[in-house]
Chains A and B, each alone.
Chain A
Amino acid sequence: GAGVSQTPSNKVTEKGKYVELRCDPISGHTALYWYRQSLGQGPEFLIYFQGTGAADDSGLPNDRFFAVRPEGSVSTLKIQRTERGDSAVYLCASSREPADTEAFFGQGTRLTVV
């Protein structure tokens, strides 16, 4: 595609529910990143994929968060038993390869847990 696509753009869910956030990277980009941006803050790193494997998941806050990229393209960020503190904008980015110094960001999914 022309850019990084994230769906849905907005998601409202009840506390305790499960949610999935989808990221469709730029075609041919092997590296994919997830970040979380809370109100008034900069993006915080969550996880980075090189191909199908998670090369660095050190930013995932706890075991309720999980991400997959089974075919090395689309990625899904999964959050179990959502809490109000999970409310944030979740950003996805991709780059041609890890050594590429430009990461292209999607517009994000705004998650609100009520």
Chain B
Amino acid sequence: GNSVTQMEGPVTLSEEAFLTINCTYTATGYPSLFWYVQYPGEGLQLLLKATKADDKGSNKGFEATYRKETTSFHLEKGSVQVSDSAVYFCALSRSYNTDKLIFGTGTRLQVFP
């Protein structure tokens, strides 16, 4: 079946450090891939998405590229800020829509000044 595996946290970084959170997936067909973020005390928010192979999603300085050959969608940011501290979830859907999102277990990011 379809599944998402992401690196365990917490990931602890100093401000301005480079961030990578790994995400790999197993899926049949051609899923869409997402990163959602949950800031403390808030609901899940879509951070970025990619709907086909080689697409790059980007938002707020974060990027992720849909790599079909490695079944990966790693999240990167060149210089993190304290305000990026949150839990990040990688997710996929069966197709381009969101009728059924399958989430990873989440990775907590802690950024210190």
Contact = CB atoms under 8 A, between A and B. Distances in A.
Interface residues of B, number: 25
A27 B100 CA distance: 21
B97 A99 contact: yes
B61 interface: no
A40 to B, nearest CB: 7
B99 A55 contact: yes
A52 interface: no
A105 B49 contact: no
A56 B44 contact: no
B86 to A, nearest CB: 14
Contacts of A33: 98-101
A104 B99 CA distance: 12
A36 to B, nearest CB: 11
A32 B42 CA distance: 19
A13 to B, nearest CB: 23
Contact of A105 (B44, B96, B102): B44
Interface stretch (A14-22, A43-51, A68-76, A79-87): A43-51
Please classify how large the interface on chain A is, using the bins under 10, 10 to 19, 20 to 34, 35 or more. Answer: 20 to 34
B101 A91 contact: no
A100 B43 contact: no
A101 B89 CA distance: 16
Contacts of A91: 43-44
Contact of B99 (A98, A102, A107): A98
B45 interface: yes
B99 to A, nearest CB: 5
Contacts of A4: 43
B49 A108 contact: no
B51 A101 contact: yes
Contacts of B42: 107
Interface of A: 3-4, 31, 33, 35, 40-45, 48, 55-56, 59, 91, 93, 95, 98-108
Interface of B: 4, 32, 34, 36, 41-46, 49, 51, 89, 91, 96-106
Which 6 A-B pairs give the minimum distances between C-beta atoms?
A: A42-B103, A105-B44, A105-B43, A107-B43, A103-B98, A98-B97
